[in-house]
């Protein structure tokens, strides 16, 4: 399949591009580079051994998006493009709604105009909101506590409504906590500014870019008091997209379906710190500080639907996640070249 990958220069997008090519598909990247580097593209060509067509523009630009799909030959779209920092989304909510919904509107109109039907959407476990239910099955109600999360809930709803008309066929993939990097160490996560998420923060402390990690809370009702999350290797996550794409092609009668992409296991913050220290041989000094507003004690997936229907399962261990993150971080201490 010739596949438009929006946000294809970003963290999860870039890893998915490599796996699409490995599976015999033809990925085409479109990315505004507001939160990614164009210098990832030669590395994608190096890893795939092929030329990767890429386009740099803001996907809210409906004319440009339509012109690209109008080039023809597209069989599907994987839509990663969007803003994703929870805290920032409360400070500039309008930017979040405008970017995340605007790209989806432009894409859906362009797909409709040019007869491209299949869409795999980058959603998040954040759509389960503040729930105590773990593991989390797909049937839980969706809702949010912050604008970023609401954009995911709303985009899911928009896509469901459009799919119900028969105009699109949609896979909603709800990611748990993506970490790790391609085992080559050539591509990985490169957050701009201070990382919001645990793994890039740990790896920047280990490589000496930051002094100490702050552990947000050790008084949760968990074995060591720190919060549990379902960390999933980005390579497993990327494979989930290839599997979902195949499912859409094999099940033209299914208009829309949602799948959790997680391991089903919770790992605590302190377990992750210990695993990273073991994998990197570097110390990760930390301080215990207060809880972060909005955090839950435990978040992990019930991944059984994806296994039953997509034939997909996460196989990579926490040790591999740490080793691969470290290979990327130590070889690229400042991330991608500007
Ligand atoms: C966060 C978002 C979630 C989003 C996801 C994307 C919040 C409240 N949730 O999830 O909506 O979909 O990122 O990947 O922001 N931690 C520390 N110190 C740090 C950073 C994190 O102790 O410097 C802890 C957190 O309290 C949490 C765990 O590490 O217990 C994981 O945090 P993080 O990587 O930010 O992911 P989530 O909070 O699960």
For 146-164, the pLDDT digits (tens) are 999 999 999 999 999 999 9
Model pLDDT, residue 338? 87
* 258, 174 contact by CB (below 8 A): yes
Domain membership flag for residue 105 = yes
- Taking 90 as the threshold, does the pLDDT of residue 64 lie above it? yes
**Does any ligand 1 atom lie closer than 6 A to the CB of residue 229?**
yes
Domain membership flag for residue 296 = no
Nearest Cα to 4, choosing from 23, 37, 27? 27
Domain membership flag for residue 184 = no
Q: Which one from 11, 96, 128, 148 is the annotated catalytic residue?
A: 148
Domain membership flag for residue 103 = yes
> What tens digit of pLDDT does each residue of 297-330 get?
999 999 999 999 999 999 999 999 999 999 999 9
Active-site residue 11, yes or no? no
Domain membership flag for residue 163 = yes
The total number of structural domains that make up the chain: 1
- Range of the structural domain that residue 96 is part of: 2-179+231-262
> What tens digit of pLDDT does each residue of 240-282 get?
999 999 999 999 999 999 999 999 999 999 999 999 999 999 9
Domain membership flag for residue 18 = yes
DSSP letter at 79 equals: E
Domain CATH code at residue 153: 3.40.50.720
> What tens digit of pLDDT does each residue of 22-47 get?
999 999 999 999 999 999 999 999 99
Question: And the tokens for 192?
Answer: 């701009």
Size of the chain in residues: 338
DSSP string, 186-231: SS----SSS--SHHHHHHHHHTTSSS-EEEE-S-SSSTTSSPEE-E
Domain membership flag for residue 51 = yes
**Residue 72's pLDDT band (cuts 50, 70, 90):** confident
Nearest Cα to 215, choosing from 270, 173, 161? 270
* 217, 295 contact by CB (below 8 A): yes
pTM beyond 0.85, yes or no:
yes
**Does any ligand 1 atom lie closer than 6 A to the CB of residue 201?**
yes
Domain membership flag for residue 215 = no
């Amino acid at each position: 399949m010739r596949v438009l990958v929006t946000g294809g220069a970003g963290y999860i997008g870039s890893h998915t591009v490599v796996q699409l090519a490995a599976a015999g598909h033809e990925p085409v990247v479109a990315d505004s580079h507001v939160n990614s580097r164009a210098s990832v593209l030669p590395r994608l060509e190096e890893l795939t051994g092929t030329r990767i067509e890429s386009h740099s523009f803001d996907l809210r630009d409906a004319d440009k998006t339509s012109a690209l799909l109008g080039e023809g030959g597209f069989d599907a779209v994987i839509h990663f493009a969007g803003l994703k920092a929870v805290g920032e989304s409360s400070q500039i909510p309008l930017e979040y709604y405008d970017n995340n919904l605007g790209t989806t509107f432009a894409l859906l109109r362009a797909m409709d105009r040019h007869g491209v039907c299949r869409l795999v959407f980058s959603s998040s476990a954040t759509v389960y909101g503040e729930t105590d239910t773990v593991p989390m099955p797909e049937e839980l109600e969706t809702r949010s506590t912050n604008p970023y999360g609401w954009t995911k809930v709303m985009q899911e709803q928009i896509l469901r409504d459009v799919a119900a008309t028969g105009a699109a066929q949609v896979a909603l993939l709800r990611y748990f906590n993506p970490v790790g990097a391609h085992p080559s160490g050539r591509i990985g996560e490169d957050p701009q500014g201070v990382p919001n998420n645990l793994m890039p923060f740990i790896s920047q402390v280990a490589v000496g870019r930051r002094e100490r990690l702050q552990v947000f809370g050790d008084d949760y009702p968990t074995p060591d008091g720190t919060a549990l999350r379902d960390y999933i290797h980005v390579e497993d996550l990327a494979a989930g997209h290839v599997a979902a794409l195949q499912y859409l092609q094999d099940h033209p009668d299914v208009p829309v379906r949602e799948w959790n992409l997680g391991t089903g296991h919770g790992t605590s913050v302190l377990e992750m710190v210990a695993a990273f220290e073991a994998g990197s041989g570097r110390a990760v000094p930390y301080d215990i500080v207060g809880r972060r507003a909005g955090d839950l004690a435990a978040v992990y997936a019930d991944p059984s639907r994806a296994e039953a229907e997509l034939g997909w399962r996460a196989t990579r261990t926490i040790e591999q996640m740490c080793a691969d993150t470290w290979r990327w971080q130590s070889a690229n201490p400042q991330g991608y070249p500007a």
